[in-house]
Each structure stands twice: as structure tokens, then as C-alpha cells.
Structure 1
């Protein structure tokens, strides 16, 4: 019964996410479904897992937006060729800071998850995320080649 209830909640979340956010919402919904399937969380684990994981995803999305903004600014100046040495140093320092922030966010996620799910499930999460990203990239590549 608990599994059926959990599945219903996931399907409902996917439908709401799918309808509200277009392609990004669809990808997020598919990722949620894939991770749920791979981790096989109990209802208690799921109740504690998803708020932590969603907070992490929001943090990572914010960091990615900041990174894209920085890259767009660089492209507007026609890339690296037009940077002086000080501007290149600043860009490189910002890049390293962004990578460090991503590492800290990832470390926080794992530390928080250690309190609620077994270590094996955390490893399954890491693998599930990698597998999902590979599948997504493959589908995008296949679509581009098909068009």
C-alpha cells in the first residue's frame, strides 16, 4: 500500500511539473521518476530525501545560471582573445570559485543524506544521476542527428 501511495505522489508531482515548466519541467520530472525507481526509497526515506535533494537541485541550478551568465558576458566580448591579463585572471578566479561552490553543495548533499539513507543508496543516487545525464545527452544527440 505504501508503495502505491508513493507511486501516486510521484506521478502527481511529475504531471504538475510537466505541465508547469515545459521541456525543463519534463526533464526534471523524468529525473525524479528515474531516481525514485533506482533508489527504491521507503516512504519515510522519500519524505526526508526529496526536500534535501530538491534544495540541492535548486542550489545547483542557481550556480549554473550564474555560470552561464558569466560565459555569456565572455562571449559578448568575443571570447578570450580580447581579454587583457587582469580580465583573464578575474574570469579564471570566478571559474574556480564556481567549481568550489558546486563541490561544497555536493558535499553538503551527501552529508545531509547520510543522516537519512544508507550509504549504498547514496552511491546508487550518484550512479543514477550519471546514468540519467548520459541517457539525456544520448537522446539529444540522437534527435540532432535525426533532424
Structure 2
């Protein structure tokens, strides 16, 4: 009986972890869809322009995501790491920043083949606007959840 309960508990735990991971993935996908719609509309991309733009931009974003994963990996307890380990972590951070710069530079080079410098600058501005809207919406949602939780108490 204990084995059955233990197995059941493990299965439930794995299922809930998978559901959380799926929830995160669904959330990322939803954000990507919103960003795609926002940028396409605000940049007034034609169908032909979008067909050229999105493969370049999506490749850049995938590489950016990989860099962010490396940057935000689980940090050990800082009191328990050696100075050598800390130096390695700093070096990795600097390398990630260099790669980020190279990625951005390559993005601009690739985009210059299909759009003007002004349009690329507009893209940068719109990315910032989208990010601000996303953060604003996130904070508003958290505030609504907090208020709702207070009402339930």
C-alpha cells in the first residue's frame, strides 16, 4: 500500500511539473503570438515584408533565448562557491554579453538587406514598447490576483 501511495505521489508530482512546464511553454507561445501581431501591425509589414522579416527575427530570438538560459541558470549558494568558481561565472557572463552584442550586430546586418535603418530603429523602439506593455500587464494581473486573494480571506 505504501508503495502504491509513493508511486501515486511521484506520478502526481511529475504530472504537475509537466503541467507547469506546459503552462510556461503555453505562456511563452502566447507572448510570442502577441509580439508577432504587435510588431507586424506597428511596423506595417506587408505580406512579402513579413515573409522576409520573420525568419531572420525568429532565428535571432531563438539564439537570444539560448543566451538568456545560460545567463539565468541556477546560481549556487554564493557563500559556498570558491573565488575561482566566481571568476569563472563572471567570465561566462562577459562571454554571454559579447555573444549578445555579436547577435544584435548580425541581426542589424541581416535586416539591412530587407529594410531601412529607420525601420530597424523603429523595430528597436517597438520592442521596448512591447516589453513595457508586457510588464505593465503582468503587474496589473498580479495586483488583481492579490486583491482577489484578500477578498477570499
CA contact (8 A) 1:38 1:124 kept: no
3-state SS of paired residue (2:72): helix
**Partner residue in 1 for 2:113:** 115
CA contact (8 A) 1:63 1:102 kept: yes
| RMSD (Å) for aligned C-alpha atoms | 1.2
Residue 59 of structure 1 pairs with residue 59 of structure 2: no
1:99, distance to aligned residue in structure 2 (A): 1.1
| Structure 1: runs of 5 or more not aligned | 1-20
1:45, distance to aligned residue in structure 2 (A): 1.9
1 CA distance for matches of 2:32 and 2:97?
22
**Partner residue in 2 for 1:88:** 86
**Partner residue in 2 for 1:25:** 29
1:91, distance to aligned residue in structure 2 (A): 0.5
1:118, distance to aligned residue in structure 2 (A): 1.1
2 CA distance for matches of 1:33 and 1:81?
45
Structure 2 counterparts to residues 62-141 of structure 1, below 5 A: 62-69=66-73, 72=74, 74=75, 77-78=76-77, 80-141=78-139
Aligned residues: 121
1:82-109 superposed Cα distances (whole Å, 9 cap, x missing partner) = 2221111101000111111111111110
**Partner residue in 1 for 2:44:** 40
1:36-87 superposed Cα distances (whole Å, 9 cap, x missing partner) = 0111123332221111011111111111122222xx1x2xx32x22222111
| Structure 2: runs of 5 or more not aligned | 1-24, 146-153
Report which of the two structures shows the higher radius of gyration computed on alpha carbons: 2
2 CA distance for matches of 1:22 and 1:141?
19
